[in-house]
Structure 1
Amino acid sequence: MNRLVSNFGKNHVHPGEGGARVAGRRLDPTHEATRQPAEGRTPRPPLTLVTRERLHDALDLGVQSPLTMVVAPAGTGKTVLLSDWVTRRRRSGQSVLWVPGQSPGDLHEHLDRATGGQAEPDPVVIDDAHLLPPAAVGELCRVLQESPQSVRLLLAARYDLPIPVSELEIRGLALTLRSRDLRFTDDEATRLVRAHAERATPDDIALVQEKAAGWAAALVLAARTLQASGDVVWPLANQRPVLDLLLGETLNTLDERVRTMLLRTFGAVSLTGQLAAVLSGDADAGAMLDDLAGSGLLVTAYTDDSANSLSYRYHPLLVELLRRRFATSPEGHQLIVTAQHRAALYYQSRGDTAAALRSALEADDAELVERLLLDHGPALLAAGESALVEAAFDGLPAGYVEEHPHLFGVRGLLRRVAGDVAGAVLDAAAAAESVTEAAASRPDNQVPAADAALLRLWESRYGWHDVHAAIGRARSVLAQAPAGDGSPRAVLGPERLAWLLIELGAAEIWADQQDEALGHLDEALVTARMAGHDQLIAGVLAHRAVVQHVRGQVQNSAQSAQAALDVAGEDGLPEEYAVRAQVVLGFAALSELDLEAAWRYHEGSAEAEAAGSDTVVAGLRAVLRTVLLVEQGRLSEALTELTSDPVAAGPLPSYLSRDLTLLRSWVAVLLGDQQSLDHQVSVLERSGQAAEAELVRAMTAVMHGDAGAALKLIEAGLDQPDAYPPLASAAASFRTILLGRTGDDSAADAALVDTLNRVTPQRMLAVLTTAGGEPAFLDQLRRHVAGPNPHPFAGVVLEKLSGYRSGWIEAGGMTPLSRTRSDPHRPPARRMDAVVNRARIRLTAREAEVLEQLALGNSYAEIAQALFITENTVKTHLISLYRKLGVEKRSAALRTARNVGLL
Structure 2
Amino acid sequence: MITPPQPHLVVARLRRPIAPARAVARPGLIARLNEGLAAGRLLTLIAAPAGYGKTTLAVQWAAQVNHPVAWLSLDEADDDPLRFCTYFVAALQTAAPSLGAELTPVLAAGQPPPPAALAAALLNDLAAVEAGPILCILDDFHVIQDPFILALLENLLMHQPTGLRLALVTREDPALPLARLRARNQLTEVRAADLRFSQAEAAALLRDGMGLSLTDPDLAHLAERTEGWVAGLHLAGLSLQGRSDPSTFVQTLSGSHRFILSYLTEEVLARQPGDVQEFLLQTSILDRLTGDLCDAVTGRRNSAALLERLFTANLFLISEDDEARWYRYHRLFAGLLQSQLRRRSPEQMAELHRRAGLWHAAHNSPATAIDHALAAGDYHRVVEWLERSAWALLNQGYARKLEAWWHALPPEHRSRSLRLTLDFGWMRLLRGALEQVEPLLEQAEASLTVGDSDEQVAGRAEWLALRANWLQAGGRHAEAIEAAHQALEIVPSKDLRVIGLASLALGGAYRQLANFERSETALRRAIQASRNAGDRVTETLATAHLALMATQYGRLRLAASVAAEAIQRLTEAHTAPPILGALHGALGRVYYEWNDLQAAQDHLERGVRLSALAGHNASTIYTLCALARLFQAAGALEEASRCLDEAAALLAQGAPGWVRPELIARQVGLALAQGDAATAEMRLRAGGLDPDAPVNDHTEALHLAWLRLFLVRGDARTADLAQRIIAAAEAGGRQAALIQALLLAAQLEADPPSRAAAHLRRALALAEPEGFVRVFLDEGPTLAALLQQLGPPSWLAHVIPAARHPSLQEKAMASLAPERTEAQWGDALFEPLSARETEVLRLLAEGLTYAEIAERLVVSLNTVRFHVKEIYGKLGVNRRTQAVRQAQELGLL
Question: Which TM bucket (shorter chain)?
Answer: 0.5 to 0.7
The 5-angstrom pairing of residues 226-245 of structure 1 reads: 239-245=257-263
- Contact 1:664/1:680 (8 A) holds in 2: no
- Which of 616, 620, 631 is matched with 1:581 structurally? 620
- Which of 321, 325, 336 is matched with 2:352 structurally? 336
- The alpha carbon displacement at 1:321 in A equals 1.5
What do you get for the CA RMSD once the two structures are aligned? Answer: 5.9
Match of 2:660 in 1: 618
Distance 1:653 1:267 in 2: 67
- Contact 1:292/1:299 (8 A) holds in 2: yes
Match of 2:784 in 1: 737
Distance 2:434 2:729 in 1: 36
Relative distance call for 1:157 and 1:751 in structure 2 (3 A) is farther
Q: Is 1:400 matched with 2:413?
A: yes
- Which of 261, 267, 284 is matched with 1:249 structurally? 267
Distance 1:357 1:412 in 2: 20
- Contact 1:639/1:667 (8 A) holds in 2: yes
Distance 2:502 2:817 in 1: 44
Match of 2:401 in 1: 388
1:827-869 residue CA offsets vs partner (Å, 9 max, x unmatched): xxxxxxxxxxxxxxxxxxxxxxxxxxxxxxxxxxxxxxxxxxx
Relative distance call for 1:84 and 1:757 in structure 2 (3 A) is farther
- The alpha carbon displacement at 1:518 in A equals 6.9
Distance 2:271 2:651 in 1: 59
Amino acid at match of 1:717: A
Distance 2:729 2:197 in 1: 82
Match of 1:686 in 2: 731
Q: Is 1:326 matched with 2:399?
A: no
Structure 2: where are the runs of 5+ without partners?
Answer: 1-24, 29-47, 51-194, 224-236, 540-569, 840-865, 879-893
Distance 2:504 2:397 in 1: 17
Match of 1:119 in 2: none
- Which of 693, 701, 714 is matched with 2:760 structurally? 714
Give SS of 1:746's match: coil
- Which of 415, 425, 445 is matched with 1:412 structurally? 425
- The alpha carbon displacement at 1:316 in A equals 1.1
Amino acid at match of 1:527: D
The 5-angstrom pairing of residues 20-169 of structure 1 reads: 51=198, 70-71=210-211, 83=219, 128=240, 130-132=242-244
- The alpha carbon displacement at 1:751 in A equals 6.7
1:281-327 residue CA offsets vs partner (Å, 9 max, x unmatched): 544322222221112342111335xxx66431211122211222214
701-710 vs 795-804, greater mean Cα deviation: 795-804
- Contact 1:273/1:286 (8 A) holds in 2: yes
- Contact 1:732/1:754 (8 A) holds in 2: no
Relative distance call for 1:338 and 1:681 in structure 2 (3 A) is same
- Contact 2:501/2:538 (8 A) holds in 1: no
Give SS of 1:440's match: coil
Give SS of 2:327's match: strand
1:444-469 residue CA offsets vs partner (Å, 9 max, x unmatched): 65357435522431222223452323
> Percent identity of the aligned residues?
17
Relative distance call for 1:784 and 1:388 in structure 2 (3 A) is closer
- The alpha carbon displacement at 1:744 in A equals 5.8
Distance 1:723 1:499 in 2: 31
- Contact 2:239/2:271 (8 A) holds in 1: no
Give SS of 1:269's match: coil
Match of 1:864 in 2: none
Structure with max Cα Rg: 1
1:719-747 residue CA offsets vs partner (Å, 9 max, x unmatched): 32666946644389779833884596635
- Contact 2:625/2:666 (8 A) holds in 1: yes
1:508-558 residue CA offsets vs partner (Å, 9 max, x unmatched): 654553575477468768534999999995453244356546767688787
1:880-900 residue CA offsets vs partner (Å, 9 max, x unmatched): xxxxxxxxxxxxxxxxxxxxx
- Contact 2:827/2:870 (8 A) holds in 1: no
Distance 1:252 1:730 in 2: 88
Q: Is 1:544 matched with 2:552?
A: no
Relative distance call for 1:607 and 1:635 in structure 2 (3 A) is same
Amino acid at match of 2:764: L
Distance 1:80 1:757 in 2: 96
- Contact 1:551/1:724 (8 A) holds in 2: no
Q: Is 1:797 matched with 2:860?
A: no
Distance 2:772 2:585 in 1: 16
Distance 1:772 1:519 in 2: 51
Give SS of 1:399's match: helix
Distance 1:271 1:622 in 2: 59
How many pairs are equivalent?
588
Relative distance call for 1:716 and 1:254 in structure 2 (3 A) is same
Relative distance call for 1:415 and 1:799 in structure 2 (3 A) is same
Match of 1:299 in 2: 317
The 5-angstrom pairing of residues 121-520 of structure 1 reads: 128=240, 130-132=242-244, 239-303=257-321, 310-327=325-342, 329-346=345-362, 349-350=363-364, 352-413=365-426, 416=429, 421-432=434-445, 434-435=447-448, 437-441=449-453, 443=455, 446=458, 449-450=461-462, 452-464=464-476, 466=478, 467-473=480-486, 475=488, 480=492, 482=494, 488-489=495-496, 510=512, 513=519, 517=523, 520=526
- The alpha carbon displacement at 1:769 in A equals 10
Relative distance call for 1:751 and 1:706 in structure 2 (3 A) is farther
Give SS of 2:374's match: helix
Give SS of 1:313's match: strand
Amino acid at match of 2:242: H
1:787-811 residue CA offsets vs partner (Å, 9 max, x unmatched): xxx999998535259799xxxxxxx
Distance 1:384 1:366 in 2: 22
Match of 2:74 in 1: none
Relative distance call for 1:375 and 1:285 in structure 2 (3 A) is same
- Contact 1:130/1:157 (8 A) holds in 2: no
Match of 1:666 in 2: 708
Relative distance call for 1:341 and 1:780 in structure 2 (3 A) is closer
Relative distance call for 1:736 and 1:618 in structure 2 (3 A) is closer
Relative distance call for 1:263 and 1:84 in structure 2 (3 A) is closer
Amino acid at match of 1:131: R
TM-score, scaled relative to structure 2: 0.53
Give SS of 2:410's match: coil
Relative distance call for 1:298 and 1:728 in structure 2 (3 A) is same
- Contact 1:428/1:456 (8 A) holds in 2: no
Relative distance call for 1:518 and 1:620 in structure 2 (3 A) is farther
Match of 2:751 in 1: 705
Distance 1:132 1:621 in 2: 83
- Which of 738, 746, 756 is matched with 2:793 structurally? 746
1:621-678 residue CA offsets vs partner (Å, 9 max, x unmatched): 334433344344443343344458789xxx9998654433433333332232323333
- Contact 1:718/1:728 (8 A) holds in 2: no
Distance 2:640 2:511 in 1: 23
- The alpha carbon displacement at 1:389 in A equals 1.4
Amino acid at match of 2:659: V
- The alpha carbon displacement at 1:443 in A equals 2.0
- The alpha carbon displacement at 1:432 in A equals 4.4
695-704 vs 358-367, greater mean Cα deviation: 695-704
